[in-house]
Chain A
Amino acid sequence: SQKIEQNSEALNIQEGKTATLTCNYTNYSPAYLQWYRQDPGRGPVFLLLIRENEKEKRKERLKVTFDTTLKQSLFHITASQPADSATYLCAFDRGSTLGRLYFGRGTQLTVWP
């Protein structure tokens, strides 16, 4: 079965630094990989989507890379701010017609002033 792992449960960084979160997958190659932000007691909010034939995607202070050889996606937040503190989830879509997403456990990011 598919497996998706996010390397650490928690990441603490200082404001202004770049946060880098890792997502690894095994067994199946996703057609799409997505990143979401989730705040406590809320539903996830979509951030970025990257396709298997794309190496990198950017959106403002966010950057996602996708390495199908390493079976890994990296999610970067540059110039991090305390407001970026949240749990970040990666999810993959195998490209089935149903568009189902399978989520990793998430990395809880804390940005301290």
Chain B
Amino acid sequence: GAVVSQHPSRVICKSGTSVKIECRSLDFQATTMFWYRQFPKQSLMLMATSNEGSKATYEQGVEKDKFLINHASLTLSTLTVTSAHPEDSSFYICSATRGGRGGRGEQFFGPGTRLTVL
């Protein structure tokens, strides 16, 4: 149990376009989901925390107008990278927690989405 999927696994787009990444909890309800980005040989950097039915909480330095997060249901959160530029190329990973709001405990990660902006 506790499987998280991401779609697409890999995407290549032109500079200036928008890209949507989906994160789904397949066999549990995820009140809280998290979005991270990871550059090669770097740590996971938390971008935002997403709670179902409410606005996402963004980490300092993350542009909320550029990285749009929607958590419309208990099993789906989406991250849209708007007007993508080459510097947005990265590995984007989502995670989800089971249980109550705030998600104490382990996080279940998706397989990640490799975004390349040309």
Contacts and interface: CB of A to CB of B under 8 A. Distances in A.
Interface string B84-118: 00000001010101000111111111111010000
Query: Interface majority SS on B: helix, strand, loop or mixed?
Result: strand
Nearest to A41: B112
A101 B107 contact: yes
B110 A100 contact: no
A49 B105 contact: yes
A105 B110 CA distance: 19
Nearest to B10: A41
Contacts of B106: 34, 46, 49
A99 B44 contact: no
A49 B105 CA distance: 7
A97 B100 CA distance: 10
Contact of B43 (A41, A45, A98, A105): A105
Interface in A4-29: 9
Given A46-B107, A98-B32, A103 B43 contact: yes
B102 to A, nearest CB: 4
A100 B49 contact: yes
Given A98-B49, A98-B102, A43 B97 contact: no
A102 B93 CA distance: 14
B67 interface: no
Interface string A62-100: 000000000000000000000000000101010011111
A101 B46 contact: yes
Given A43-B111, A44-B109, A46-B106, A98 B44 contact: no
Contacts of B41: 9, 105
Contacts of A30: none
Contacts of A105: 41-43
Given A105-B42, A105-B43, A42 B111 contact: yes
Interface of A: 9, 32, 34, 36, 41-46, 49, 89, 91, 93, 96-106
